[in-house]
Chains A and B, each alone.
Chain A
Amino acid sequence: MLRMARSLPEEVLEHVFSFIHSDKDRNAISMVCKSWYEIERWCRRRIFVGNCYAVNPSMVIRRFPEVRSVELKGKPHFADFNLVPDGWGGYVYPWIAAMANAYPWLEEISLKRMVVTDETLELIAKSFKNFKVLVLSSCEGFSTDGLAAIAANCRNLRQLDLRESEVDDPSGHWLSHFPDSFTSLVSLNISCLGSEVNFSALEHLVGRCPNLRTLRLNRAVPLDRLANILRRAPQLVELGAGTYSAELRPDVFSSIAGAFSGCKELKSLSGFWDVVPGYLPAIYPICSSLTSLNLSYATIQSPDLVKLVSQCQSLQRLWVLDYIEDIGLEALAAFCKDLQELRVFPSEPFALEPNVSLTEQGLVSVSEGCLKLHSVLYFCRQMTNDALVTIARNCPKMTRFRLCIIEPRTPDYITLQPLDDGFGAIVEHCKDLRRLSLSGLLTDRVFEYIGTHAKKLEMLSVAFAGDSDLGLHHVLYGCENLRKLEIRDCPFGDKALLANAAKLETMRSLWMSSCSVSFGACKLLGQKMPRLNIEVIDERGPPDSRPESCPVEKLYIYRTLAGPRFDMPGFVWTMDEDSALRFS
C-alpha cells in the first residue's frame, strides 16, 4: 500500500484531492502521510477559521500558500446580544494585511462578527485583482466609504453581502461607484443599510448585470421602486423587498403584481418591512414556487399570514413573527409539507403580557404536520414537558432546536415542574441533534440528560438554568462532540470547570458570563493550560483588585495555537503562565 501511495505522481493525487471539499476530509487526507500533507496543503483553496484568535495569519499562510477563499469568525456568539463589550476585539485588518501580501489571487472573503474598517475594505479593493466575493455577516466598524472602494475597484465582483452588519453613516452614493462597465454582479444584499441608496444607480446596476440572482434591498427602498427593479431583473431567484407599504392604489398594485409575475425564477423572499396587507396578493402568483420566506420583519397579522402560507406548498424555510399565532402554524402544518426550518420571532419581546396567541401548541402542530422539520428557533411564553416530548417524538431527525421561553426560569405552566424532562426527551429522541438552546426552569437534571444522550451535540446555549456545578460537569463530561458552549447567569463555578479542563482543548470555545467562576480558578486554568486563552472580561476593573474568590464578570476560553493576543482592550485580561506573576 505504502509503495503504491508513493508511486502515484503528485499531479494525480492533487487531481484526486480536488474533488474533496469538506475541511474535515481535507484534514483527514493531510494526516495520512507526510507527502500527502505536502500535496494537500499546496492545493487547499478554502480555509475556514472558526475563531480568528485560534491561529494567526502567518501560520495559516505558511501552511496553505495557495488559498483562494477565506472564512473567518471573530466575536463569540453572545456578542449578538450585547454581552460582549465593544472593543473586545475581532479586528480583521491584520489578516487582510497579511493576505494582501501572500494571496494576491484571493477571491473570497467571508467574515462573521468581526470589526472591519474602511481601511480594511480599501486594502481588499486594492490588493486582490480577481476579488469576487465579500460577505460581511454581523460585522461592524466600516462605512459606505469602504463600500465605495470595493465598488470602484473590484472589477470581477460577484457577491457583496452585508447581512446584518452595522454600517456607519450610510449614504447611498457608494452604489454609483460601480463603473458602468461593471456587469458581473450575481448577489447583492444591502438589507441592513439604514439610509437610502441612489435609486437610479441601483436600477441601472440591476439592469446591466444579467447574472444577478440575489437582490436584497433595504428598508429605504419604497414599494413603488420595486416594480422597476423587478422588471429589470426578471431572472432573480432571491429577492428581499424593501418597505412593502404604500397607499393602496390599483395602478401601483397592478404594476407590482405584474412585475412579480414576470419573475418566474423567484424562490426566496425576504424584507417586507411595514407591510400593507392589501399589497400581499401581488405575490400570490409566485407563492407556489417559493422555498424560502422570511417575513420576520413583516408586521402582518395572522389571517393574512394564513392566506399567504397556505399557498406556499413548496416552502422549506419560514421565518416569521409570532403574529402567525397557533392558528397560522396549524395552517403551515397543513399546507407546507416540505417545511424543514421554522423560526418564530417575538413581536413584542419586552411586553409583560402576551400580545398574540402563540403557545406551545403551534410548535406541536408543526411537528405533527411537517415531517421533514429539522431546524427550529421558537420564541414563546409558555411550554410544557408534554409538548416537548411530543415534538421530540415527532421529529427524531431534528438537528437544531432552539427554544426561547421569554421569561427566564418559566416552569411547565400546567404542572409547574421544571422542563428537564421535556428537553431530556429532545436529546434522547433526536440523536442527530447538533445545536440546542435551552430556556425555562431547568435543574441539573436536564444537564444530566444532555450529557447522557446528546452525543452529537456541537453547540449548546444555556441561560438561567441549573443548580450547581454538577450541571456543567455533566455537559463537559458527556457531550463528546461539543465544540461551543455558551452560558449566562447560571450557578456554575470553579469545580466543574477545573475538573474538565482538558475538555476545553477539544472545544472551540466556552463562554460564561454572570456565573460563579472565581478569578483564582481562571488564573489556575491559565497556568495549567497553555494552549487555551483564558480571557477574563471584567468592566469593574482589574480582577486582582478584588479577592481571588471573587467571580469574574465574563469569561471566554478558547483553544489557540497563537498564544495570548495583543489587541485586547483594557477590560480584558488573559490568564497565562505569567498571570501569577502579573497579578500578584
Chain B
Amino acid sequence: MAWLVVRLAITVSLLYTASAVFEDQVGKFDWRQQFIGKVRFALFDTHSQASKKLLVATDKNVFASLNSRTGDLFWRHVDKTGPEGHIDALLMYGQDAVVVVGNGRLLRSWETTVGGLKWEAVLDTGSFQAAALVGVQDFVKYVAVLKKSAISLHDLSSGSQIWVENLPDSDTVQYQTIYSGGNGLVFVLGFVPNSHIVIVEYKIEDGEIMKKKSVEAAWMSSLENSCAVISSGILLCVDQITQSLYTLPLQSAEQTEMRQIHLQTLDLEVASGFPPVLTSTQPNPAQPPLAEFFLQLSPDHHILLQLKDGLIAPLRDFNPSYLAAFATSGEKTVAAVMSPKNDTACSINLFSADTGRRHLDTTIIYHMDPNGGKPNRLYVHAFLKKDDSVGYRVMVQTEDLTLTFLQQPGRVVWMREEALADVVTMEMVDLPLTGTQAELEGEFGKKADGLLPMVLKRLSSQFILLQAWMAHLWKLFYDARKPRSSVKNEVTIDTLSRDEFNLQKMMVMVTASGKLFGIDSKSGTILWKQYLENIQPNSIFKLIVQRTTAHFPHPPQCTLLIKDKDTGLGSLYVFNPIFGKKSHISVPALPRPVLQTLLLPVIDQDYAKVLLLIDDQYKVTAFPSTKNVLQQLQDTASSIFFYLVDTSQGKLSGFRLRMDLSTELIWEVVIPTEVQKIVAVKGKRANEHVHSQGRVMGDRSVLYKYLNPNLLAVITESTDTHQERSFVGIFLIDGVTGRIVHEAVQRKARGPVHFVHSENWVVYVYWNSKFRRNEFSVLELFEGAELYNSTVFSSLDRPHPPQVLQQSYIFPAPISTLEATLTEKGITSRHLLVGLPSGNILSLPKMFLDPRRPEVVSEQSREENLIPYAPEMPIRTEWFINYNQTVSRVRGIYTAPSGLESTCLVVAYGLDIYQTRVFPSKQFDVLKDDYDYVLISSVLFGLFFATMISKRLAEVKLLNRAWR
C-alpha cells in the first residue's frame, strides 16, 4: 500500500516536470538522418527489371537495403560492433541474400523484400577465406564457405549443412579461393608462397576429393587480386616481377605447369611498385565465367582482354582510366569504365564485354566535388531498355565516403554522405546576424551619442523593423496562394541568418574519415563539406570555437586539432564554421606531441580566444601568438593553471604558467596503477551558467551549493576484474591546488562508467556486478548554511571542506551515453539525457537524482517538492524525446543553449544523427504550440459585443423608466 502511495506521489509530481513530445510536434523541429557507413559490398537486385533494391554491407557491420531511386533505406539491420559482427561476404541469388558474419562464424540468409531472416546457421570456428554460390545444372542450390582449414557446403533454401571437409595440408598451404563452374565440382585454390599452387577438386554431392594436384609457381606471393578464373575453368594469374600472365586449365590432367605469357608480347607493362589486379566476371554462378577480363596495370590504366583458343588478345585499352566494373543484365554483359575528362569531371562509358565496342550515347558525366576525395569504387546497375539495348546507372563511392548515384547523362539521382555515420566531435555555432539585426544590435552598442541622434536612431530602427515585418507579411500572403509543396524554401548558405530566438544554428561535425560538415540544425541540410586529405585512420580530433559570430566584421573561427594516436603529433586546421572555408591565418608548427589544450577567456585584438597547446616537454604554444596576446599572457600567467593526466602511470599533475611561457609543477596526485586505473577525467563545461547559489529548504533556510569551477571528477576502475573484488572509484580534485575534495568507492562494481559533471553535482552510472544491474549514483556538494566568500570563488582560499551528499538508484536498462541539458542562464531545471542501446534517448529529470530524496516523507520535504526515495528509477516511453526515431549505436549527445531560456538544443549522434529541442521545464517563455487563438479572440469579441449590447439595452431601459 505504501508503495502504491509512493508511486502515486511520483506520478502526480511528474505531471509537472514531464517534458514529453506531443504527437503534432513530430517533425516540426526535429529530424533524423540514417547512415550505413563505408560500403564494402553492394549488389543491385537484378532479379526483376522493376526492382529498386540495392543491398549493401558496410564496415560498420550494417546490412541494409536501399531504394536505388531515392537513396532511402528500405530496412537496415545493425549487428554487434567489433569483429563478431563483421560482414565477411555478401552473395545474392534471386530474392535471397546470403551474408557471412563474424569471421565465418555465422551464415545468414535474408529475405530481402521483408527484411527478415530466412535462416541462420552456425559454422565451425576458423578464419574465413572465401564464400561462393554453387550451382548444379543451371540452378544455384548451395553456398560454399572456405575457412583456413575446412570447406563446408550448405543448402541455399534451408541453411542445413550438406557436408564439411578438412582441407589437405592446411598448415602449410594457404587456401584462398573457391571456384565452381556449375559442372558438379567445387575447386579450392591454395598456394604455398614462392613454391606452388594447390588445386583440390571436391564432388558436390558428398564432398569427396576427386583430384588434388599441385603446380609449380615459384613466383607466386598472393592469390587474391592477382589471380582469377576465366572462361571454362582456366586459372589466370598475373605477376609483376616476371611481367607475365600465367594460365592453367583447372581440370586438365596432362598440363602440370602453368603456361607463361609475357606481357611484352601484348605490348603491356605493369607500372613499377603497383600490384596488378585481375577482374573477371561470372554472371551466373551455375555457369562458367566469361572469357573476358580486366587487367589493371597502374592506378589509372585498365585493359580489357579476352582469352580465345588459348590465346590472350587485348580488346580495348583504357588509358587513362580510374575504375572499371562489369555488369550483367539478362544475357548481356557490359563493362563500365570511368576515365578522367578534365580536372573536375570524369566520364563513364559503357562497352560491350565480348567485343570491347563502345555503346553509343551511354556517357555519364561525373562531377567531382572540389572539396571531396577521389572516386575509388564503381558499382554498375545494368538493365535492358524497351528496345533491348542496355541502359545503366552507376553508384560511385569516393575516398571521403560519399555515395553518388548517377544516371544518364550525368544527373545525380541521390547522394549519401556516409562519413556522417562516424561523427567524432561536434560544435554548434550561432548563425550570423542579418543586416537589420546588426543595425538593431549596433544601436545598443554605442552610448556616446547625444539625446537627439539616439531618438532618431531609435525611430529609424523601428522603421526598419516595420519594413521587415511588412515584407514578412507580404511573403506569407504570397506563399499562401501557392500550392503547399512548392513553398518549401531551400536553405542555402546565403540565406542563412539567425532567427529571433537563436534556435537555428550551424552544426559543425567532424567525422573519423577526416571530412568536416556544416549542417543547418533546423532542416538537416548539409551546407558545406570539406574533406581533409592525409588524415591517419585513428586520429584524435578536438574542435575548438575560437571566435563566435558575435564580432562582426571579423569572421567566426573554429580550430580543429588533429592528433595522431600513435605519435601524438598534432596539426591545426583553422576554418570559418559558417562557410567552411579554410582561413589564411598562419598556424604554429607543432613539432612535439601535444598533451593538453586549453582555451583561455583571454582574447586578442581580433576577438579570438587564445588557445594554449602544451607539448610533452611542458612547453606552451599560444595560438594566436601576437604581441598583444603575449603581453596579456604575461600579465595573467600567475593565474593560469592546467592539469595533465597520465593514465599509464596513474598520475595527475597540475601546472602553472610562467611569464616566459614555460611551466612549473604545482601538485601531483598518484593513483597507484597496480590497484586502479584512471578511466576518465572531466571538468565542467565552460559555457555553463548556474542561476541560483543555493537551495531553499523546507524551513526557509538556504543550503548553499559548492560551486567550484576548477573541480575535476576523476573516475577509476580497479585492475582486478573479479566480480567480488572489482570496484569503481571517483575522486573530486581541485584542479588548481590538487586537493582531493572528496572520494568515493563503489564496491562490486565495474565499468563502463558514464558520468556527467555539472554545477555542484556529479552523476555516474556503473554496472553492479553483484546484482547484475546498472546503477546511478549522484554526488552533490554543498557549502552548508553559509557561504564562505560569496563574491568570488578562489580554490586557494577555501578552509571548509564541502558537505557531500550521495544517493544511488537502480536503472532498469543498459546505457550507451549520458549528457545533461544546458540552457542560456541555467534557470530552467536540468534533465539528464540518457542514450539507450535500443536507440531511444531518455530525458530523465534531475529531480529524480537528488541525494536529498527522503525515505520518510515529512512536512518539510513535501514543502521542498522532494520526491520520496524509491530504489528503482522509472523509465517511461513518454520521456523518450525521439519517440520512434531511434538513433542506432548512439555514441554522443551534444547539448547547446538557445536564445530561449526554456529551450535546449540536442543532437544525438552515432550511426544516425538526430536533432531536436527539449524543454525541461516546458515552454514557459513562449506561447505554447497549441495556444488557442480562436478561443481567446472569440471570448474577447464576445465580451466586447456583450458590453455593447448590454449598454444599449441599459440605455433603453433607462429611457423607458424615465418615461414612466
Do chains A and B stick together as partners? no
